[in-house]
Amino acid sequence: MQKLDNSRNFNWCSLVYVILYFCYFSSALQLYIALSGHANFSGLRDSIIYSLIWLVPILFFPNITKKYAAIYGLVIGGLSLISIGYFTIYRQEFSQSVFFVMAESNFNESHEFIAQYLSIKLIAVLLIYSLFGIFLWFKVKPIYVKNMTKWLVSIVIVVYALMPLFISVVIKKTSFERATEHLLLRMETTVPWQLVTSYLAYRSQLSNMEDILNHLQTLPEFENLTDANGNTPRTLVLVIGESTTRNRMGIYGYERDTTPLIEQFKKDNPGFVVFNDVVSSRPYTIEILQQALTLADEQHPDLYLTKPSLIHLMKQAGYKTFWITNQQTMTKRNTMLTMFSQQADEQYYMNNDRNQNSRQYDSSVFVPFRNVLDDPAEKKFIIIHLLGTHIKYELRYPEGDEYQRFNDKSGLTFDLDDDKLAVYNSYDNAVAFNDFVTTKLFNLFKENDPNGFMLYFSDHGEDVYQTAPHEVLGRNEKAPTRVMYTVPFMLWQSPKWLANHPNDFQSYVNRKFSTQDLIHTWSDLAGLSFNDYQPERSIVNKDFVQPIRWIGDPHDKKGLTDFDKLAK
């Protein structure tokens, strides 16, 4: 009797191993990211979807399974080592921002990078990762299914993979170009699309940024610029926070003790000034910095395109300029931030993560700040851009009891549902960690014994269930609340600086000010004067004139609102 050949029968175990193998090189990292709390599970979902596409050929041609899987492992597995290695070193996902930083690095910097990070830990991680991939390859066997099943499964995989494109075009009615961008964004978790889409996005955003920079280089300099401090050595620091409302800071009267460190710094340093009534004109980072860092304002919102910026001003005054940022760099939304940073002489990009909603702590700016403070330039201007208390708030501070200080309803003057309470508490915890970061920066500056000053403000606020009836989360220019616009504004002047610049700024702390006029205040503090400088718009000038503090979208005919007329 002839023996039956069972080798071509369908085997569930073989299917499981094949799926594990083809998903492994993208989904293993995403699984770790999700389980460790570094980001949510959306990356894992997308990596599985776009890895399954590779199964289609072996469904139709099972005899090539082993060779096909070997080539896949060598190519895709090899490329995935880049992502694994990068995450092991930086705890960040590979993104288009990495291409930007790589392009800005020279050979010596690359050599130093390899020498510094080629550690036993990195080698061990890559070796274990590779060995498990090889183990899965040995388990891979052909899958034999009926013709109808082949077609049905393949169609389901392809349709599900292209579903974001269909939803964007057909249901959301977006353009095919924008729908394609959305699809590529979904594929960004998966090798090799991760590298391909990151590179294409980098090239696109780089082109946009270069167009803006080329335009800015044609702008005229500030006319009749004078510096009252001459060539005196000095260091001036501007720290820009993110999404931090002063209404949730203990130093501004909030019921919870979220800012004990900066309050102690204020007690110990008489030159520390806390301004009590400063607002942002816009509730969005890009839009407010287009005003705060330039001569643009709510009445003239496009001046940032025709007038030079604060960075240009300081360079023209003879300062060496630095930009240290923990914000994402080369994303489509953040191209303007990168454009501002590229105006500086030197840049330090600390956050190259693919996902904004990931754990990237502002403590990463400490080391580059120390390095820049030690730079031999006699006149230094340093901008530090923090990630602050940006949503998701629970990702803005390290895990552990030390940083999760607020876990219940203590200190609240109103009631919240449990789900809202968790978010409310995580925001306060983020504010508390931001207190640690900003105070550390002030102390690092102080320890350097500088002749200069440091100014800290937040780009905008955030309403986290604070405004009655406690339903609002985030910020919305079309439905503004006061909390979205109220920001901290704090200044520390060193003893050396105060010795030559005595002042009575403490008498100005209750002035009503908008950060759209920051460039005038900064110029006043730095002793700079030029044709467009307006002393009446500086909060520290004796000739300050109380303005109407407009908020809202200046490009909307009915978009502007007087902040002081918002309901309290």
In a domain, 361, yes or no: no
Compute the average pLDDT of residues 480-506.
Answer: 96
Amino acid identity of 480? P
For residues 137 and 258, membership in a common domain is answered with no
Angle between helices 418-447 and 260-268 (to 10 degrees): 30
In a domain, 560, yes or no: yes
For residue 512, what is the domain's CATH number?
Answer: 3.40.720.10
Q: What is the pLDDT of residue 87?
A: 79
Is the pTM value of this prediction over 0.75? no
In a domain, 348, yes or no: no
pLDDT above 70 for 466:
yes
Of 319, 304, 297, nearest in space to 238 by CA: 319
Q: Secondary structure of 315-359 in the HEC alphabet?
A: HHCCCEEEEEEEEECCCCCCHHHHHHHHCCCEEEEEECCCCCCCC
The last residue of one of the domains, among 182, 204, 226, is 204
DSSP for 48-100 reads: HHHHGGGGHHHHH-GGGHHHHHHHHIIIIIHHHHHHHHHHHHHSS---HHHHH
For residues 242 and 98, membership in a common domain is answered with no
Q: What b/e sequence results for 334-358 when a residue is b if at least 16 CB atoms lie within 10 Å of its CB, and e otherwise?
A: bbbbbbbbbbbbbbbbbbbbbbbbb
Cα torsion 313, 315, 316, 319: sign: positive
pLDDT above 60 for 121:
yes
Q: What is the pLDDT of residue 443?
A: 97
Of 354, 367, 430, 366, nearest in space to 398 by CA: 430
DSSP for 447-500 reads: HT--SEEEEEEES---EES-STTTT-EE--TTS--GGGTB--EEEEE-HHHHHH
Contact 275, 251 (CB under 8 A): no
pLDDT above 50 for 107:
no
For residues 187 and 271, membership in a common domain is answered with no
Distance (Å, whole) CA 541 – CA 508:
9
In a domain, 3, yes or no: no
For residues 392 and 311, membership in a common domain is answered with yes
For residues 243 and 173, membership in a common domain is answered with no
Residue 444: exposed, middle, or buried by beta-carbon count in 10 A (0-12, 13-18, 19+)? middle
Q: 376 is in which domain, residue-wise? A: 237-281+300-319+371-565
Contact 48, 134 (CB under 8 A): no
Of residues 503 and 105, more confidence is placed in 503
Quick one: how far is CA 68 from the chain centroid? 40
In a domain, 170, yes or no: yes
Q: What is the pLDDT of residue 105?
A: 46
For residues 241 and 183, membership in a common domain is answered with no
What total of structural domains would you count in the chain? Answer: 2
Q: What is the pLDDT of residue 67?
A: 92
In tens, the pLDDT along 496-548 reads: 999 999 999 999 999 999 999 999 999 999 999 999 999 999 999 999 999 99
Coil/strand/helix, residue 382: strand
For residues 253 and 189, membership in a common domain is answered with no
Distance (Å, whole) CA 367 – CA 101:
18
Contact 530, 226 (CB under 8 A): yes
* Structure-token pair, residue 488: 């901290």
In a domain, 331, yes or no: no
Run of H or E including 226: strand 226-227
Of 238, 552, 245, 239, nearest in space to 393 by CA: 245
For residues 108 and 31, membership in a common domain is answered with yes
Least confident of 22-36, 125-139, 202-216, 541-555: 202-216
Q: What is the pLDDT of residue 14?
A: 83
Of residues 118 and 439, more confidence is placed in 439
Q: Please list the alpha-helical segments (H only) found in 187-239.
A: 193-217
In a domain, 399, yes or no: yes
- Name 211's Cβ contacts closer than 8 Å, sequence gap at least 6: none
* Structure-token pair, residue 151: 């077609």
For residues 191 and 315, membership in a common domain is answered with no
For residues 190 and 258, membership in a common domain is answered with no
Distance (Å, whole) CA 471 – CA 201:
37
Contact 539, 547 (CB under 8 A): no
pLDDT above 90 for 329:
no
Contact 394, 249 (CB under 8 A): no
In a domain, 448, yes or no: yes
Of 466, 504, 498, nearest in space to 482 by CA: 466
For residues 200 and 252, membership in a common domain is answered with no
For residues 154 and 257, membership in a common domain is answered with no
